[in-house]
A and B are shown apart, each in its own frame.
Chain A
Amino acid sequence: MAFEGLSERLQSALSKLRGKGKVSESDVKAAMREVRLALLEADVNFKVVKDFVARVSERAVGQEVMKSLTPGQQVIKVVNEELTQLMGGQQSKLDLSSKPSVIMMVGLQGAGKTTTTGKLAHHLKKQNKHPLLVAGDVYRPAAIRQLEVLGDQIGLPVFSLGDQENPVEIAERGVAQAKEEGNDVVLIDTAGRLHVDETMMDELKAIREKVEPDEILLVVDAMTGQDAVNVAESFHQEMALTGVVLTKLDGDTRGGAALSVKSVTDCPVKFAGMGEKVDALEPFHPERMASRILGMGDVLTLIEKAEANVDEEKAKDLERKMRTQQFTFDDFLEQMDQVRNMGPLDELLGMMPGMGQMKGMKNLQVDEKQLTKVEAIIRSMTREEKQHPEVINASRRKRIAAGSGTTVQDVNRLIKQFSDMKKMMKRFSSMSKGKKKKGFGGGFKFPFMQ
């Protein structure tokens, strides 16, 4: 999950304060030393770290914190607030008021501009916009082809004049075509370039003058080290950026750039790329990110994802089935599909509050292949078997295993898990009727967890 290393270090630094009735100045100091190292190792710019630690320390030893009943919690609250502030305070949205709105993507080589252009277009399409993609990277071999393939995948038009034309000309004619065809957003992909390359930066400026973009987004690789702020600063000086898109924020990137860029350039981070698929782009919410970093989860994003991807009718139906114990393998399969649509499972788990501390969850590897296996097993069952799993006897198990290319052990495991799950649902539904019990049933695991 994003920010993993940072999250872990910060939480361990702060855990010593949690629950303390009294926090001395030296406690805070010790914690801040660790916070400082955690941030530095996460590639947060060293100047930003200095300011951040100074601000938090000052507030943490202040009256309101020290005199409160739970000073430890208060310090964590201060860190949370300052982290949020560092990342820009609140979500910053795209300005799409003009028709068409022109968005220009700029950045270093390999930051992920072309992929992000595709992802952003997909994101806008889901909001009922009709974007036109403009292939302005004429330098990298096959960059235009890459954008065309992406356009194909998401079902959006791509404007291209091949790689012999001038990028300024391409951008201009692209916008003109959008006006003609009634596209309400134009996304211009540009070639990667070094911020210190004057000729190439001049080319960007020429494009800007011709098409007057509403948004100029700098695409930054979240794995970038201390140089991230230099890059962002120069691009901002030359181009007057309107925002930043962080890419590759999945995996174990510590995402220091996310924390530095805004405070150095004052350009808000608007989106974050979190995976390889075209739908793996999220609007960037500083307050949610801060609480994710501090292990407080991000339930809001989780709910939004669920709302966007889960069919309400079906969900209600499922819920009824769970309550009335009619849950079958068919329902199980459907539920699995819906969860999968929401995004990579490890990302989803990272958004659950407290998941970071949960035993065994830390190094949890969600293997998507395992899901495919489960799916194969269920699809190898007859209709009767899916509806009434109790009929599955030894010979049926053998057949199912052969049919799904798995082993009888795999089939057994799944059936066992399925019946455990049903038992748990029973407990849940009796719980919601009666008084609430504590905790999320003991050793239960989804079948796709290892």
Chain B
Amino acid sequence: MSFFKRLKESVSKTTESVTQKFKDGLSKTSSSLVGAMDSVFSRNRIDEELFEELEDVLIGADVGVQTTMEIVDRLRSEVKQRKVKDPADLQPLLSEILVEMLQGDDRDTAMNLKADGLSIILFVGVNGVGKTTTIGKLAHQYRQEGKRVILAAGDTFRAGAIEQLEVWGERVGVDVIRHQAGSDPAAVIYDGIQAAKARGADILLCDTAGRLHSKVNLMEELKKVYRVIQREVPEAPHETLLVLDSTTGQNALQQAKWFNEATRLSGIVLTKMDGTAKGGIAVAIRRELSIPVKWIGLGEKLDDLQPFDAEQFVHALFVQAIEKEEEA
């Protein structure tokens, strides 16, 4: 059975609306990939030129040089082993490799939250990736699930950041703990934790200022925030999520590496996937640092932030090829 079929069956186990969301959100990504892929897979035979062209496509999707080499090498050996002759048969093989790489060793990309009692989620990342917006959307979803949510406005640096979070708080109907602009973020988070405990909240979402991972002082500041959370609630933060703009290139690896060193990341939120960005860097991060993608931003609406699902993701990318195969 072709991997495409298996993929389709597996995907159909989740609800139709989720599949649709992935398909819609990734349609721009998919259609710009398809053009490039088509020219690769419609070649007459499988030869070195084909592999080279495929390398360009993958590098063009921000997968990165090393990860691309690994993918293409694996594809080469699969081709040899399974004696594949038709270039069209490479597509299911490639999608299989991608799913495998994105899933990594453990299939568990679910959020690690406490069934009862307070769970703390810390959001970190460079400037402009969408941390505050992500927090707003997640707050909305947890509210929908009936959870008590509190937001802590830990971005005390960027002009207007506190106000931005407050607007989200009003929109979603949750409390926002804030200090003055320019105050110590660790103190804001501390107050957030105290408020969350006192008000019996289920989830505390902690915003932090965007910072370049190469700025030592700012990373030290972040470590302090992390320490304060650990000190106040021993097993916290329950999740530390790196918010990553999917248009980011190879620099994302450095981001993941340094933020992981400062705060031990538990997952990644891949934002802005509704553009033409391919987000290939997620594959490289999974491969090199084994940090899983946990959420994916598929649009601007409140519920367009979806739990990441490698199969859904790859399915949506290859959806046109899959439909073609079915017709045939």
Pairwise interchain contact A226-B278, C-beta atoms closer than 8 A? yes
Pairwise interchain contact A227-B247, C-beta atoms closer than 8 A? yes
Q: Which of B65, B161, B216, B277 contacts A227 (CB 8 A)?
A: B277
- Note all chain B residues with C-beta closer than 8 A to A369: 217
Q: Which of A41, A111, A194 contacts B128 (CB 8 A)?
A: A111
Q: Chain A nearest CB: distance from B58 CB in Å?
A: 10
A196-B276, A221-B247 are contacts. A226–B160 as well, Cβ < 8 Å?
no
- Note all chain B residues with C-beta closer than 8 A to A225: 62, 247-250, 252, 277, 280-281
Cα A142 to Cα B167 in complex, Å, equals: 8
Cα A252 to Cα B281 in complex, Å, equals: 17
Pairwise interchain contact A367-B216, C-beta atoms closer than 8 A? yes
* Residues of chain B in range 128-145 having any CB-CB distance to chain A below 8 Å: 128-130
Q: Which of A40, A146, A224 contacts B248 (CB 8 A)?
A: A224
Q: Chain A nearest CB: distance from B78 CB in Å?
A: 24
Pairwise interchain contact A43-B278, C-beta atoms closer than 8 A? no
Q: Does any Cβ of B come within 8 Å of A213's Cβ? A: no
Q: Chain B nearest CB: distance from A201 CB in Å?
A: 12
Q: Chain B nearest CB: distance from A136 CB in Å?
A: 15
A142-B163, A149-B160 are contacts. A368–B272 as well, Cβ < 8 Å?
no
**Closest Cβ neighbor of B132 among chain A residues:** A141
- Note all chain B residues with C-beta closer than 8 A to A149: 159-160, 181
Per-residue A-contact encoding for B260-286, CB less than 8 Å = 1, 0 else: 000000000000101111101100000
Cα A250 to Cα B180 in complex, Å, equals: 28
Pairwise interchain contact A195-B167, C-beta atoms closer than 8 A? no
Pairwise interchain contact B28-A196, C-beta atoms closer than 8 A? yes
Q: Does any Cβ of A come within 8 Å of B64's Cβ? A: yes
Per-residue B-contact encoding for A367-381, CB less than 8 Å = 1, 0 else: 111000000000000
Q: Does any Cβ of B come within 8 Å of A42's Cβ? A: yes
* Residues of chain A in range 106-122 having any CB-CB distance to chain B below 8 Å: 108-112
Q: Does any Cβ of B come within 8 Å of A251's Cβ? A: yes
Q: Does any Cβ of B come within 8 Å of A223's Cβ? A: yes
Q: Chain A nearest CB: distance from B305 CB in Å?
A: 14
- Dominant secondary structure at the B interface: loop
Cα A252 to Cα B216 in complex, Å, equals: 12
Pairwise interchain contact B249-A223, C-beta atoms closer than 8 A? yes
Per-residue A-contact encoding for B212-231, CB less than 8 Å = 1, 0 else: 11111100000000000000
A142-B161, A196-B28 are contacts. A252–B254 as well, Cβ < 8 Å?
yes
- Note all chain A residues with C-beta closer than 8 A to B276: 195-196, 227, 230-231
Cα A167 to Cα B114 in complex, Å, equals: 44
Q: Does any Cβ of B come within 8 Å of A386's Cβ? A: no
- Note all chain A residues with C-beta closer than 8 A to B168: 141
Q: Does any Cβ of B come within 8 Å of A365's Cβ? A: yes
Q: Chain A nearest CB: distance from B316 CB in Å?
A: 16
**Closest Cβ neighbor of A151 among chain B residues:** B159
A196-B28, A248-B212, A251-B215 are contacts. A231–B247 as well, Cβ < 8 Å?
yes
Pairwise interchain contact B272-A146, C-beta atoms closer than 8 A? no
Q: Which of A43, A108, A146, A365 contacts B250 (CB 8 A)?
A: A43
A42-B250, A367-B216 are contacts. A221–B163 as well, Cβ < 8 Å?
no
Q: Does any Cβ of A come within 8 Å of B24's Cβ? A: no
- Note all chain A residues with C-beta closer than 8 A to B217: 367-369
- Dominant secondary structure at the A interface: loop
**Closest Cβ neighbor of B248 among chain A residues:** A223
Cα A41 to Cα B59 in complex, Å, equals: 9
Q: Does any Cβ of B come within 8 Å of A254's Cβ? A: yes
**Closest Cβ neighbor of B28 among chain A residues:** A196
* Residues of chain A in range 212-269 having any CB-CB distance to chain B below 8 Å: 221, 223-228, 230-231, 248, 250-254, 256-257
Q: Chain A nearest CB: distance from B153 CB in Å?
A: 11
Q: Does any Cβ of A come within 8 Å of B60's Cβ? A: yes
Pairwise interchain contact A253-B247, C-beta atoms closer than 8 A? no
Pairwise interchain contact B214-A252, C-beta atoms closer than 8 A? yes
- Note all chain A residues with C-beta closer than 8 A to B60: 45-46, 226
Pairwise interchain contact A110-B128, C-beta atoms closer than 8 A? yes
Per-residue A-contact encoding for B274-303, CB less than 8 Å = 1, 0 else: 111110110000000000000000000000
Q: Which of A46, A196, A365 contacts B59 (CB 8 A)?
A: A46
Pairwise interchain contact A226-B126, C-beta atoms closer than 8 A? no
* Residues of chain A in range 95-150 having any CB-CB distance to chain B below 8 Å: 108-112, 140-150
- Note all chain A residues with C-beta closer than 8 A to B158: 146
Cα A365 to Cα B247 in complex, Å, equals: 28
Residue with the highest number of chain B CB atoms closer than 10 Å, among A110, A144, A194, A195: A110
Cα A365 to Cα B214 in complex, Å, equals: 10
Q: Chain A nearest CB: distance from B126 CB in Å?
A: 7
* Residues of chain B in range 112-169 having any CB-CB distance to chain A below 8 Å: 126-130, 157-164, 166-168
**Closest Cβ neighbor of B32 among chain A residues:** A230
Pairwise interchain contact B159-A150, C-beta atoms closer than 8 A? yes
- Note all chain B residues with C-beta closer than 8 A to A195: 275-276
* Residues of chain B in range 164-211 having any CB-CB distance to chain A below 8 Å: 164, 166-168, 171, 181
Q: Chain B nearest CB: distance from A354 CB in Å?
A: 22
Q: Which of B59, B160, B215 contacts A145 (CB 8 A)?
A: B160
- Note all chain B residues with C-beta closer than 8 A to A251: 212-215
Q: Chain B nearest CB: distance from A164 CB in Å?
A: 14
Cα A54 to Cα B105 in complex, Å, equals: 41
**Closest Cβ neighbor of A253 among chain B residues:** B251
Pairwise interchain contact B250-A250, C-beta atoms closer than 8 A? no
Pairwise interchain contact B247-A142, C-beta atoms closer than 8 A? no
- Note all chain B residues with C-beta closer than 8 A to A231: 247, 275-276
Pairwise interchain contact A141-B163, C-beta atoms closer than 8 A? yes
Q: Chain B nearest CB: distance from A49 CB in Å?
A: 9
Cα A223 to Cα B244 in complex, Å, equals: 11
A43-B250, A110-B245 are contacts. A145–B65 as well, Cβ < 8 Å?
no
Residue with the highest number of chain B CB atoms closer than 10 Å, among A112, A141, A257: A141
Between A and B, 8 residue pairs with Cβ closer than 8 Å are: A111-B128, A145-B159, A148-B160, A150-B159, A228-B249, A230-B276, A250-B212, A254-B250
User: What 5 pairs between A and B have smallest CB-CB spacing?
Assistant: A225-B249, A110-B128, A146-B160, A43-B249, A141-B167
